[in-house]
């Protein structure tokens, strides 16, 4: 039986993957079972920011797995402390709570905000509220989809947890107007990824920081996709020089081989977690800690943040020039760019399919936007190879 047919028979159809059966990956390249090699311009939604099979990550993976992998947090494991110390230093935060997936880290942030709101700010238990942004994407748990503005994410999954107020993304005045005495936190993505690499107006994050200070509200930023070099800074909020009260990281932290995430904050917030208040069987295991620590060192020592800034500016300029009337907007920061297809200029999914045929793998979102997010390890030559094929596809598009 064909492998794709078999997968459709036994796997729930919660995804609609392209009809390409991948066999192996190396660096920025993915090869299918027929031997066709294509350039990865998606990076697993930033999870593969270090490329496929980075030799340093694989070395640590193998060495640590042979020594010690999973014991649960019932015992101490040697790699965890050094990993979290490095992560806190990079993020400018005091403490971290390790988890596995991005959604788990977001759930951790929500719990931290609610407990801080009750224990510190004095909000009555069960009444804490969190302000979020329209068109957000923070994960797929029932709590998180409950405050999504995407109908398909919510359909049939209620009832949903109360306590969330959604306001327009990029509108600090709307966020301030939504604050009440029961507001514990504002939770946003500094750049909205799933919405189409939507960059807010300059000064937005600084304005949120100021209003959170005025109203004694926590500013929590979800940098699961935008963090760890993706936007040309370690974190997207650094473009505005703000420091959040809470930071959510994941994806690239696992080096492309293992799920690693964390919620970071100050000691005054983290000390509210005591034994039994939160946990995860796999969160912070020795293998995850060793991989996460090495991922941070690779990003730093290979200067991938700087490469993202330099090549990202170049890539955005090239895409802007070549898309012409095809795109209504080309936006993004670093190696994270969204090309929004103009009305009447074609369907984004059809263009994505033609790009795949030409040797470039990417993905559309919300029907009109094509996302480009190559591994941060990509070279100028490899990027040019991909951009030349993009240019060919855009030049021959059907009107």
What is the C-alpha separation between 52 and 280, in angstroms, rounded? 27
Domain boundary among the residues 240, 269, 301 is at 301
Do 320 and 367 belong to one domain? yes
User: Which of the residues 83, 165, 169, 222 is marked catalytic?
Assistant: 222
| pTM: predicted TM-score of the whole model, two decimal places | 0.97
Structural domains in the chain (count): 2
The single-letter DSSP state of residue 275 is T
Residue with structure tokens 């988890």?
Answer: 99
pLDDT tens for each residue of the chain, 399 residues long:
689 999 999 999 999 999 999 999 999 999 999 999 999 999 999 999 999 999 999 999 999 999 999 999 999 999 999 999 999 999 999 999 999 999 999 999 999 999 999 999 999 999 999 999 999 999 999 999 999 999 999 999 999 999 999 999 999 999 999 999 999 999 999 999 999 999 999 999 999 999 999 999 999 999 999 999 999 999 999 999 999 999 999 999 999 999 999 999 999 999 999 999 999 999 999 999 999 999 999 999 999 999 999 999 999 999 999 998 899 999 999 999 999 999 888 899 999 999 999 999 999 998 899 999 999 999 999 999 999 999 999 988 644
24 and 114 both lie in a single domain = no
- Tell me the CATH number at 381: 3.90.1150.10
> Which helix (H) or strand (E) covers residue 130, if one does?
strand 129-133
Catalytic hit among 137, 147, 169, 235: 137
Domain boundary among 275, 301, 327: 301
CATH number at residue 128: 3.40.640.10
Tens-place pLDDT, residues 317-342: 999 999 988 999 999 999 999 999 99
Q: Verify that 308 and 296 share a domain, yes or no.
A: no
User: Catalytic site residue 155?
Assistant: no
Check whether residue 248 and residue 150 sit in a common domain: yes
Helix (H) or strand (E) holding 9: helix 3-10
361 and 294 both lie in a single domain: no
| Whether residue 326 is found in the same domain as residue 387 | yes
User: 188: which DSSP letter?
Assistant: E
Residue 46 domain boundaries: 3-53+303-395
Question: Does residue 251 carry a catalytic annotation?
Answer: yes
Domain match, 387 and 260 both: no
The catalytic position among 164, 165, 169, 251 is 251
Boundary (domain end) residue, out of 279, 301, 323: 301
Instruction: Say if residue 265 is in the same domain as residue 329.
Output: no
Under 8 Å CB-to-CB from 63, ≥6 apart: which residues?
Answer: 290
| 36 φψ region: left (φ > 0), alpha (ψ -120 to 50), beta (else) | beta
Same domain, 212 and 79: yes
The answer to whether 220 touches 246, Cβ cutoff 8 Å, is yes
Asked if 319 and 288 sit in the same domain, the reply is no
- Do 30 and 68 sit in the same domain of this protein? no
Shared domain check, 213 and 311: no
């Amino acid at each position: 039986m064909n492998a794709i047919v078999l997968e459709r028979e036994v796997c729930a159809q919660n995804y609609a993957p392209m009809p390409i059966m991948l066999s192996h990956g190396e660096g920025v390249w993915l090869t299918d079972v027929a031997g066709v090699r294509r350039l990865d311009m998606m990076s697993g939604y930033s999870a593969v920011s270090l490329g496929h099979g980075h030799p340093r990550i694989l070395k640590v993976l193998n060495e640590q797995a042979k020594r010690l992998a999973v014991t649960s947090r019932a015992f101490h494991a040697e790699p965890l402390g050094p990993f979290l110390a490095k992560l806190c230093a990079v993020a400018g935060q005091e403490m971290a709570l390790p988890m596995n997936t991005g959604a788990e880290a977001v759930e951790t942030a929500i719990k931290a905000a609610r407990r801080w709101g009750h224990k510190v700010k004095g909000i009555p238990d069960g009444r804490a509220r969190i302000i979020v942004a329209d068109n957000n994407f923070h994960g797929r748990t029932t709590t998180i989809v409950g405050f999504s503005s995407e109908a398909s994410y919510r359909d049939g999954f209620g009832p949903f947890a109360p306590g969330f107020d959604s306001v327009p993304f990029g509108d600090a005045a709307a966020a301030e107007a939504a604050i009440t005495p029961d507001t514990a936190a504002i939770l946003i993505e500094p750049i909205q990824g799933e919405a189409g690499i939507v960059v807010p107006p300059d000064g937005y994050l600084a304005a949120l920081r100021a209003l959170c200070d005025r109203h004694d509200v926590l500013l929590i930023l979800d940098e699961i996709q935008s963090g760890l070099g993706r936007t040309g800074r370690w974190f997207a909020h650094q473009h505005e020089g703000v420091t959040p009260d809470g930071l959510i990281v994941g994806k690239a932290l696992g080096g492309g081989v293992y799920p690693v995430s964390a919620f970071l904050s100050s000691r005054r917030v983290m000390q509210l977690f005591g034994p039994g208040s939160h946990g995860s069987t796999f969160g912070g295991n020795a293998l995850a800690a060793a991989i996460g620590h090495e991922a941070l060192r690779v990003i730093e020592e290979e200067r991938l943040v700087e490469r993202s800034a330099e090549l990202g500016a170049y890539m955005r300029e090239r895409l802007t020039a070549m898309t012409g009337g095809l795109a209504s907007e080309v936006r993004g920061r670093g190696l994270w760019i969204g090309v929004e297809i103009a009305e009447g200029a074609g369907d984004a999914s059809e263009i994505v399919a033609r790009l795949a045929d030409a040797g470039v793998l990417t993905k559309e979102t919300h029907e009109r936007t094509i996302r480009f997010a190559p591994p941060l390890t990509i070279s100028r030559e490899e990027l040019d190879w991909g951009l030349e094929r993009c240019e060919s596809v855009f030049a021959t598009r059907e009107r």
